[in-house]
Amino acid sequence: MVVFRICPVLLLLLAWLPPAAPQGQAFDQPVDVELLLAVDVSGSMDPDEHALQRQGYVAAIRSEAFRRTVRSGAYGRIALAYVEWAGIGRQAVVLPWVELAGDADIDRVAGHLAQAPIAFIRGTSLSSILDFAGKHFDGNGFEGLRRVIDVSGDGPNNTGGPVLDARDRVLKRGITINGLPIMIRPALHGSSTTPSLDEYFTACVIGGPGAFVLPVREIEAMAEAIRRKLVLEIAGAPVPAARIDQAQARPPVDCRIGERLRRFWMEP
């Protein structure tokens, strides 16, 4: 009879090894936040505004405040994705999900965004990008303490399904939606018959724990607004802004205003 002897040191090492994952199953990487940047590139913005918006995100990611906030989390790392959007089904994944855990990661992502071409797509379907973004978290390989969609936009939803329905589908997934309404044109400041864009985002788009809107009213303020917003989202810090958890039965703003205006302008 052959007797196998196992080294005591080997037994000790085996005892410290984590249990093997079931076949075909991988563990998701824990991160402080899974943050998806949904960036409006619709035709209502001109190429210079598109470029300034992209440059604003690049500068924000490269900033020391952004780096410091990433390092300060419980895990010291986040997951980031960058998607450009416009009309129904018109989404371009510029940056797939990637881990940011240090300066090298941050510099690489910022360099990629600085060089990647900017999509130019027509239409404004907030409902379509919210549905796309909500599903984009599935199977991304990360497990965040929080999941956040940061959606920018320079107009209300004017095509696709109702934005309230899309918002509630995202909220049911446990994802927070924050808004960056771009209000550099006077028409977006509202009137006696139409809401301002920040009011529209507050009533119809954002939702979830700690959700907030940070409007951009001047093109020169875009980079600073983006930097501040990303830092707040990564830190999970409370902000003195409106919050909504579920769509109200009768929101104070007409959340179909974009569709109604589009039909009005298209009528002969």
pLDDT tens string 30-60:
999 999 999 999 887 888 888 999 999 999 9
Q: Is the pLDDT of residue 25 over 50?
A: no
Q: Where are the beta strands (DSSP E) in 156-257?
A: 176-181
Compute the radius of gyration of the chain from its Cα atoms: 22
Q: Given strand 78-85, what is the order of strands in its sheet? A: 91-100, 78-85, 29-40, 142-153, 176-181
Q: Is the pLDDT of residue 178 over 60?
A: yes
Q: Is the pLDDT of residue 156 over 50?
A: yes
Q: What is the spatial distance between Cα 197 and Cα 238, in angstroms, rounded to a whole number?
A: 22
18 occurs within a structural domain: no
226 occurs within a structural domain: yes
42 occurs within a structural domain: yes
7 occurs within a structural domain: no
**Phi, psi angle pair for 147, to nearest 5°:** -130, 130
Total domains in the fold of the chain: 1
Q: What mean pLDDT do residues 222-248 have? A: 75
Highest mean pLDDT among 20-24, 201-205, 215-219, 240-244: 201-205
Contact in structure between 181 and 175 (CB atoms under 8 Å): no
257 occurs within a structural domain: no
DSSP state of 16: H
Compute how many other C-beta atoms are within 10 angstroms of the C-beta atom of residue 67: 16
Expressed as residue numbers, the domain containing 99 is 29-238
Q: Return the sign of the alpha-carbon dihedral for residues 57, 59, 61, 63.
A: negative
Q: Is the pLDDT of residue 193 over 60?
A: no
pTM over 0.95: no
225 occurs within a structural domain: yes
191 occurs within a structural domain: yes
Q: What is the spatial distance between Cα 139 and Cα 233, in angstroms, rounded to a whole number?
A: 22
User: Which pLDDT belongs to residue 81?
Assistant: 99
User: Which pLDDT belongs to residue 192?
Assistant: 42
User: Which pLDDT belongs to residue 10?
Assistant: 34
User: Which pLDDT belongs to residue 253?
Assistant: 82
Q: Which of 72, 26, 53, 27 is nearest to 237 (CA)?
A: 72
267 occurs within a structural domain: no
In the block, tokens 């797939």 appear at 96
CATH of the domain at 156: 3.40.50.410
